[in-house]
Each structure stands twice: as C-alpha cells, then as structure tokens.
C-alpha cells in the first residue's frame, strides 16, 4: 500500500509536496465521522487538525453549488462538534505557501511551541 493516495488536484498535490518538504505526514482522505462518508483531504488525527484544499473557487465547481455548500457546512459543523480544527485553503493559497505556513503555525501551537 502507498503511504498517500493519488492527489486529486493541483492544490492537493502541491500541499502534499510542501508537507514532505517539512517532514509532515498527514493522513490522506481521512474518514472522521463513521458511518458518515465525510473525509478530510489531509488530517493529523492525533492533533485533531484537518486541511481541506477547496478547488474550483474561481469557476462553478462542486463547492460553489448551493447543495454542496450546505453539505460542506454540515461536514464542518460536525467536525467542530467533535473538536476538530479545520483549515480551508484555495489552490492559490497552497501554491503561494500560505497554507503550509499556517499549518506549521497551528501544529506548533498545538505542540506548545511559540
């Protein structure tokens, strides 16, 4: 078995490369609310930290339709009830390095590093 499933988008592939550059090993497509089929793009389950790379933000992609927006709201609200910190980034935020910088900052806060 490969350690990471195939990345589904440029944003996810880039974020995975950034994680590898910093020796981070998130779980991919992590199922967090069984028996629901909700998954996070990237997760550190022991820290309850998740990252979602939102594609199609500048086009009429899946996440820009009303029914999908409501499903995402349900997913993120359930995650919050379960104590998850969910960071959401656009592909542009990932490719600029903003996403990995924010993740590193949050991981350091969770570890108690200032």
pTM above 0.85, yes or no: no
Q: With a cut of 60, say whether residue 7 has pLDDT above it.
A: no
CATH 1.25.50.20 for domain 10-111: no
Residue range 47-75: average pLDDT? 78
Question: What is the domain partition of the chain in residue ranges?
Answer: 10-111
Strands (E), 32-75: 39-44, 49-54
- Does a cis peptide bond (omega within 30 degrees of 0) precede residue 35? yes
- With H, G, I as helix, E, B as strand and everything else as coil, classify residue 99: helix
| 57 within 8 A of 90, measured Cβ to Cβ | yes
* pLDDT, the chain, mean: 88
72 burial type by CB count under 10 A (0-12 exposed, 13-18 middle, 19+ buried):
middle
């Amino acid at each position: 078995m490969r350690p990471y499933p195939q990345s589904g988008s440029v944003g996810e592939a880039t974020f995975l490369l950034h994680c590898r550059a910093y020796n981070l090993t998130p779980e991919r497509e992590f199922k967090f609310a069984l028996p629901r089929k909700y998954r996070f793009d990237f997760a550190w389950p022991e820290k309850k930290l998740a990252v979602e790379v939102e594609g199609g933000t500048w086009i009429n992609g899946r996440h820009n339709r009303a029914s999908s927006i409501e499903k995402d709201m349900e997913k993120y609200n359930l995650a919050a009830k379960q104590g998850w910190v969910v960071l959401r980034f656009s592909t542009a935020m990932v490719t600029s390095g903003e996403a990995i910088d924010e993740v590193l900052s949050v991981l350091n806060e969770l570890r108690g590093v200032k």
